[in-house]
Each structure stands twice: as structure tokens, then as C-alpha cells.
Structure 1
Amino acid sequence: MHVTKNENAWGGHPVLHPIGRGGRLFCRFTGIPYVNLTWWHGAIIVATLLMMASGAAAQYGNTTENILTTIIKWTPLMLEGFKMNLLMSVVAMSVGTMIGVVLGLCQVSLIPQVRTSSWLLTQLLRNSPWLVTLFYVMYIIPFEFHIGGVLIILPDWIKATFGLSLPVLANVSEIVRGGVQSIPETQWESARSLAFSRVQTLWMIIIPQCMKRMLPPWMNLYAIVTMATVLGNIVGVSEALTITRDILAAEGRNELLLPMYGYVLFLFFIYIYPISRVTVRLERKWAVDT
């Protein structure tokens, strides 16, 4: 991510430019580093997993094969928990994106009250620790609702997902704001000369141009959110880390501790690695000069 000053109607705020070769590896206004995984990251994880299994086997008088067999035996159950992580990440990104796009467009509004209030909300949610936000949501939103005499129970994973969607919408808001402000002011002037309204200019000219600039950081944010779903373990959601903890309690074998958690890390790597590679490739393909 490369950030420059664009002296235009937006008051010279930092604007969004996709990363290119030699560019920065983090987004300054989202505060989130880019996930740039390579094949050797996976090789290190696999090698570390095997070393942990071998070391644990030697320490507790077991065999590496026995530890790996136990991990494979529990893999189907762990994958069920991993599906919950993926479900939470998709829902959080969907909700956060829909609200974040609106909030981001409000940040470039010509109405000062709308622009200021949306900026304040974005900064509040963006700079709040994700875990703190998650705890607030879990305790503020009730576990059940009574609507028309009908009892509606709200599962923990839905509340946790909503908690994760709050920082997502703030970061999406900044991505949208940066993408819109990265388009040269001459585009707005040309549209005005053709009698386009501001809404027509935004949806027909500006948004189509900045979609390529916004997609890579949005994909990177999804990778971050997927990894952050393990925070649901702290608030009782039955996801991959929670199930792994339950498996360790059921087995009662200390030698499985590090290998099992290393295996969870490997599962996340397998899923996030393709997203990371596509993100980097799109950033380089759609890089813009500043």
C-alpha cells in the first residue's frame, strides 16, 4: 500500500494506491499489515509441526507415527470446527462490507455533519482492539429475544460474528474512502462539464475506476478476519481452536499439545495462502504510479 497526498476537494487526506513492486507491505489508514504468504511459510509450518511431534514423542516415550495418527483421527472433527471459522469470516465480511461501503461514501460527503460523524465512527471502531469490541458485543447483546410472544435464541457465534464485523466495517470504510479519493480531481471536473450529477459521477465514473484499487486490500482484510475468528474461542464459540482444546482434554496426553495447535495453524495456512497470492498478484497487476 502506498499513500500519498492528493491536494483536491478532500482537503489533502491520504489516499489509496495499490502496492506495487517495492511498495509498502501495510495499509496506513487501516493499520493492518498485508498478508503476504509464500510457499516457504508453509514449509516452515510443516517442518515445525513434524519437529514438535518428534520432540514430544521423544520426551514422553511415544512415537511420532502415533502422534500423527492421533491427529489424523481427529481431523474430521477439527474440520467441522474450521467450517465455523470460515462461516464467521464470510458473514462478518459480508455484513461489514455492506455497512462499510455506505460509511466510506459518507466520509466523502459534501455535508460536513455527515462527513465528520462518519469519520468519528470509523476511527472509533478502527482503533478499538478487536477482542475488546468482541467482549462488548457479547455482553451487551442479550442471548434471547421475546418478539410477539416468540422466544428467539441468539447463538454465540452470531454475536461473535457481529462483533468481528464492527472493525471490518471500519476498515472497509477507510478502503472505500481512500479508493474514492485516489481518483484524480480532473475526473470529477470532467463529469461536471458533461452535466453529470454528483451521484451519477460517483456510481458511473469514480466507483468503477477505484474498484481495482479497493479489491486487493479488501481481500487482504478477509484473510485477516479469517485468522481473527479464533477469538471466538475466548467467548465460547465452538470453532477450530475450541474443538482442539476439547480434543486435548479428551485425550489427556500432554505430548499432543503443540502438534495439535501446529496442525490448526497449518489448516489456516492452507486456506489463506491462495488468497494471499492472488492479492499480491492483483496488487502488482493493478499498481498505479503516484
Structure 2
Amino acid sequence: MANVHYVRGAMIEQLEPPAASSGAAGWVRQNLFSSPLNAILSVLSLALVYSVIAALIPWLISPTWQASSLSECREILEGASGACWGVIRERWLQLLFGFYPSELYWRVVLDFLLLIVAVAPVLFTGLPRKMLIFSALYPFLMPWLLWGGTVWGPVVAALGFGLGYLAHKLAKAALGGLAAMILAVLVPVIWWLFLAGPVSEAVASVLPLALEPVESRNFGGFMLSITIGVVAIAISLPIGIVLALGRQSNLFIVRSLSVGFIEFIRGVPLITLLFVASTLLNIFMPPGTDFDIILRVIIMVTLFASAYMAEVVRGGLAALPKGQYEAADALGLDFWLAQRLIIMPQALKISIPGIVSTFIGVFKDTTLVSIIGLLDPIGLSNSIRADQSWNGIVWELYGFIALMFFIFCFSMSRYSMFLERKLRTGHR
């Protein structure tokens, strides 16, 4: 074919993109200097960041790690500006463990290592499913390691769930599903209230297997915050799901109780519930009842988180199209099978950001227990500053506490993003 002057006879070799539009230079030009206004704002922001970093780094790298008091820090600094990190070196174990006996730190460390093992198969589906057996046993192992005492207490408590499951299996065929579910709840409650204590004491008298007991007043620091936070987070999600389903129930009593509980708890500040737990709850207990203060706080924080979790899950249920419910009916599934296989997995996937946000809020709210006298990290910081050697220390303690909370909360946030990407099934 003859060459035509307006048709190219050969392809031009592919060239590299201009340096100003690719790589780091291209990113800077596109994001920081794309217009005169952006350029001015970028320069001002960089100047502000530089001034903050220039003032912060000398303060952070202060050579005061070996100081044993605030006055010694000032002598080392010789009038210069810098942090007094000696307080962290001297009191970091107290900030982590509170007044827990130092010879028993291994129990706390082992407990939280086992916590990682227990939650791993729940958070990551690639692990063997048999590990879920340990995840189910861990809630009974955790309090025994932390508080000590006889091993038969958690064993008898776990037996209550087994009795409830057995009652449900036996009653389902004879009495029907609703009666079986009621018995599955009543049997464990009766067991725990009236029989668990005597049975545990009887077995312990024959076979005394126990750890050295530790009183709750020795709990403190991040150990206390993590204990309250983990228990409240783990229990509030299933309770919140039940409350969300109860709020949508066609049964008037169930719906009214669920709505009343949710609205009452959400309408009351958490600090009010904590004051109720610390002062008023014992008034309603039988005379002579010793109801552990940490257990009371855990119950109130869990109920508070459950009410907010119920609204998050309800939002996920409301976001599902009506066709999903109709599809479950078309397959002939009953209510619970439809919820377990079709409705709830999709609702929880939609609710992941709200669920994790609630978890993070609950974990940060554990610092409120310092107001009722429990020595969480904030409460311990006040005790440390009351020491004459460290009177006047503020930023170092609060900075260390903030860093630890940031690590936990940021980890939960990143896991939430990982889970959202993993469960993303729609078209991109």
C-alpha cells in the first residue's frame, strides 16, 4: 500500500511519562502544588509541622531516663527544656499491673498471651476451627488466672452452660422451641444462683486445686482497663444482637422491654451507671453479700455498650433490602435459620464500622472508672504525682498512657479496615 502523508507508516516507540507527572515529584505537584492557593497552604502547613517537630524532638530525646525524681531531672537538664522520662522507667510496671503482686505478674502475662490465642481464630478465618474450643473455654480460664482461688469455681460456672444446652435438647422435642429456649435460660441461672457455690465448695474440699487469691483492690493500670474492655466488648456484641432483634420483634412484650432498655441506657451517662455500680447496687443485694466492685463495673459497662451495639446492629438490619427477607422465606427457613444464614451475616458486614467504633469508645471509656476509686492508668497517674519525688509530672505520664491507648485503638481500627476489604463482595 502506498504511503499517505496523513497516515503514519510505523509506530512510535513508547516513551517514559514526564518526570513532573510521575513518581514522588508528580505526587507532590498533584497533591501539594496543584494551584497557587494549594501551594501557599502547603508551604504554611510544612512550616507549622517543622516548627512543632523542631520543638518536640529535643523534648522527647531528653537524657533523663535514669533520674529518680523530678528535681534530679531538672539537674540533668540544667535549665533546658526536656521530658522527665525517669518516672516512666521507675513506674511503668505499676502503670501496667497496678498493685498486683510482682511475684504473680506471670499470671497476668500468661492470661493476655492466652487472650491472643483465644481471639485469633475468631478474628482470622484461616486458622484451624478447632482452636474455637479454646476460645470457648478462655472466658472461664481468664478470671481464675487473674483472681486466683479454687479451679472448681470456673469449672462449675462452665457446667451451667452445659446444663442449659442439655435442657434445651431434651425439652425441644417434648415441649417445643419456645419452652426449650426458656428452660435453656432458666436452668443455668438457677444453677449459678443456688447450686454452683455449694457444689464448688464441696468439690474443693475433696480435691483442693487452687491458685493464690488476689483481691480486686490490687488490680489497676492497663491490666484493669484491658480486663474491663475485653469482657465488655466480647459480651456486648451478642447482647446487642439480641436486643436489636427484640426491638424488631412482633411480640409486644419483647419489643417493649428491648426498646425500654435501649432507650434508658442510652439516655443515661456512663458515669452515672458507674456510680450506681459502686454505691447503690449493694443496697439491693441481700445483707452480707460481697459483690466484687470490678464485677459490678464490668456489668454496667457491658450493659451500656450493649445498648449502643443494639442500635448499630439495628441500622445494619434496616439497611438490608426487603428482598433478602423474602428470599429467606422462599427457601422455607424459620426465623433463627434465616437470621443465622442470610440476614445477620449481611447486617453485621454492613455494621462493621459502627461496631468497631463502639468497641473503641468502650475501651476508652474504661478510664472513667478512676472517678469511682479504681486505679486504672489515669487513677494511677494521680497516685504517682502525689509522690513527693514526682510531684509536678504531667505530660510524661499522660503521654505514655495516650500512646498505649492509641496502640490498642489503632489496632482495632486497622483490623476493621482489613475485615471490610476481606468481606467486600460487591463490584468495585
TM-score by length of 1: 0.71
Deviation at 1:284, TM superposition (A): 6.0
Deviation at 1:203, TM superposition (A): 2.0
Q: What is residue 134 of structure 2 aligned with on the other side?
A: none
Q: Does 1:225 align with 2:365?
A: no
Equivalent position to 1:200, from 322, 330, 337: 337
Q: Which moved more, 1:154-163 or 1:165-174?
A: 154-163
Q: Which moved more, 1:109-118 or 1:238-247?
A: 109-118
Structure 1 portions without partners, runs of 5+: 1-39
Q: What is residue 128 of structure 1 aligned with on the other side?
A: 268
Q: Does 1:68 align with 2:78?
A: no
Cα pair 1:230 1:240 within 8 Å, conserved: yes
Equivalent position to 1:172, from 290, 298, 309: 309
Q: In structure 2, do the counterparts of structure 1 residues 98 and 199 end up closer, same or farther at CA, with 3 Å as the change threshold?
A: closer
- 2: CA distance, partners of 1:173 / 1:103: 6
Amino acid at match of 1:192: D
Cα pair 1:143 1:153 within 8 Å, conserved: no
Residues 110-132 of structure 1: CA distance to partner in whole angstroms, max 9, x if unpaired? 22342233123212212321111
Amino acid at match of 1:200: L
Amino acid at match of 2:87: T
Cα pair 2:236 2:302 within 8 Å, conserved: yes
Q: In structure 2, do the counterparts of structure 1 residues 74 and 176 end up closer, same or farther at CA, with 3 Å as the change threshold?
A: same
Q: Does 1:271 align with 2:408?
A: yes
- 2: CA distance, partners of 1:47 / 1:276: 27
Q: What is residue 95 of structure 2 aligned with on the other side?
A: 78
- 1: CA distance, partners of 2:311 / 2:415: 22
Amino acid at match of 1:142: N
Q: What is residue 102 of structure 1 aligned with on the other side?
A: 242
- 2: CA distance, partners of 1:215 / 1:49: 41
Cα pair 2:87 2:390 within 8 Å, conserved: no
Q: Which moved more, 1:109-118 or 1:178-187?
A: 109-118
Q: What is residue 248 of structure 1 aligned with on the other side?
A: 385
Amino acid at match of 1:183: L
Q: Which has the higher strand share?
A: 1
Q: In structure 2, do the counterparts of structure 1 residues 49 and 219 end up closer, same or farther at CA, with 3 Å as the change threshold?
A: farther
Secondary structure, aligned partner of 2:249: coil
TM-score by length of 2: 0.50
- 1: CA distance, partners of 2:419 / 2:246: 27
Q: Which moved more, 1:189-198 or 1:221-230?
A: 189-198
Deviation at 1:285, TM superposition (A): 6.0
Residues 175-218 of structure 1: CA distance to partner in whole angstroms, max 9, x if unpaired? 22222222211111122223222332222211122232233322
Q: In structure 2, do the counterparts of structure 1 residues 73 and 108 end up closer, same or farther at CA, with 3 Å as the change threshold?
A: same
How many residue pairs end up in the alignment? Answer: 240
Structure 2 portions without partners, runs of 5+: 1-48, 64-69, 98-220
Q: Using the aligned pairs only, state the percent identity.
A: 24
Task: State the structure with more CA Rg.
Answer: 2
Q: What is residue 111 of structure 1 aligned with on the other side?
A: 251
Deviation at 1:84, TM superposition (A): 0.8
Q: In structure 2, do the counterparts of structure 1 residues 218 and 162 end up closer, same or farther at CA, with 3 Å as the change threshold?
A: same
Q: What is residue 88 of structure 1 aligned with on the other side?
A: 228
Q: Which has the higher helix share?
A: 2
Pick 1 or 2: higher relative contact order, CA cutoff 8 A, min separation 6: 1
Cα pair 2:385 2:392 within 8 Å, conserved: no
Cα pair 2:83 2:396 within 8 Å, conserved: no
Q: In structure 2, do the counterparts of structure 1 residues 252 and 204 end up closer, same or farther at CA, with 3 Å as the change threshold?
A: same
